[in-house]
Structure 1
Amino acid sequence: MGTRRLSREQALQALFYMDMHRDPGEDPVGSFCNSFTEENPAEPFFHRLVCGVQENRETIDTVIEQFSSNWKLSRMSCVDRNVLRIAAFELLFCADIPPKVSINEAIDVGKRFGTEESGAFINGILDSLRIAIEENQVSCVPKATGQSS
């Protein structure tokens, strides 16, 4: 498994934990990273994803709800919701990652950790978002936030 895939899977796990606990503690990301005893080559991209999602969560959640017909974020499974947040962050804030890569990775991670329907659900929302970005209906935000690798 590549380090970026590992980073995405670990980011999903960390965001899932924070989403499920109202008060995940003072430094949930640090606690998550400290649970690994070996050096983690996925850590820089992991931090980029988790911090980027946290810092831009309101924007990301608004965009996801805009493209998820009849689905409020609160009704989505926690896995699907956080896979979508990671991929939407990549699509909106990470110009260095091709959109199709972000979408394919999200589908694969969703299939691995979600339900049988997760892949199709995630694909539908993210592909609609990708098309809207390409047609300049949604603007990508070139921010320095979350960009360090």
Structure 2
Amino acid sequence: MKRHEAREKALQTLFQLEGTELTIDEAMDHVMAGENDHFYDLLVQGTYTNMATIDEKLVGHLENWSLERLPKVERTILRMAIFELDYMEDAPARVVMNEAIELCKTFGDDKSSRFVNGVLSKFTDETAN
């Protein structure tokens, strides 16, 4: 499976987990239907396990928005991107940002990609310094 497809499936899995009583294993099984992919597993498990820390970092980069007020798609995409940027050493920032924007274009609304790009740009600028 290509990384883009793994990111799409990870987004679907993490999206399902928010606001439901599914376990992470149930959500992963539902989306993957028995298929295995190391990158997908790492992205879902890592984002889910580190969500509290990721949310703290994310809140610091939202202007005039609360985490709860963000649409679920954008919130989930931002969490995944911040996980990749902060926890995965082989993830170039430009690639992660482009992938997040593409996910927004597919799963979000017309304004999603610009919003996510702005938040991630601010995040990468501040963490690079």
Q: TM-score range by the shorter chain?
A: over 0.9
2-structure distance, mates of 1:133, 1:34? 33
2-structure distance, mates of 1:25, 1:97? 27
The list of structure 1 runs, each at least 4 consecutive aligned residues, that deviate by more than 2 angstroms after superposition, is: 25-36
The structure-2 alpha-carbon separation of the partners of 1:134 and 1:50, relative to structure 1 and needing over 3 Å to count, comes to same
Letter of the 1:51 counterpart: Q
Letter of the 1:61 counterpart: D
Q: Structure 2 length as normaliser, TM-score? A: 0.92
For 1:6, the equivalent position in structure 2 comes to: 5
1-structure distance, mates of 2:32, 2:96? 27
Q: Structure 1 length as normaliser, TM-score? A: 0.81
Higher helix share: 2
Secondary structure in 2 aligned to 1:73? coil
Q: CA deviation at 1:32?
A: 2.4
Contact 1:18 1:28 in 2 (8 A): no
The answer to whether residue 125 in structure 2 is matched with residue 131 in structure 1 is: yes
2-structure distance, mates of 1:72, 1:94? 26
2-structure distance, mates of 1:80, 1:34? 22
The structure-2 alpha-carbon separation of the partners of 1:31 and 1:124, relative to structure 1 and needing over 3 Å to count, comes to same
The structure-2 alpha-carbon separation of the partners of 1:122 and 1:113, relative to structure 1 and needing over 3 Å to count, comes to same
Letter of the 1:32 counterpart: H
Q: What's the Cα RMSD here?
A: 1.6
Structure 2 stretches lacking a partner, 5+ long: none
Between Structure 1 and Structure 2, how many residues are aligned?
129
The answer to whether residue 71 in structure 2 is matched with residue 67 in structure 1 is: no
Larger radius of gyration: 1
For 1:85, the equivalent position in structure 2 comes to: 79
1-structure distance, mates of 2:99, 2:32? 25
Decide which of 39, 42, 48 is 1:45's aligned counterpart. 39
Q: CA deviation at 1:25?
A: 3.8
Q: Percent identity?
A: 36
The one-character-per-residue Cα deviations of 1:75-120 (angstroms, maximum 9, x if unpaired) are: 1111100000000001111111100100010011011101110000
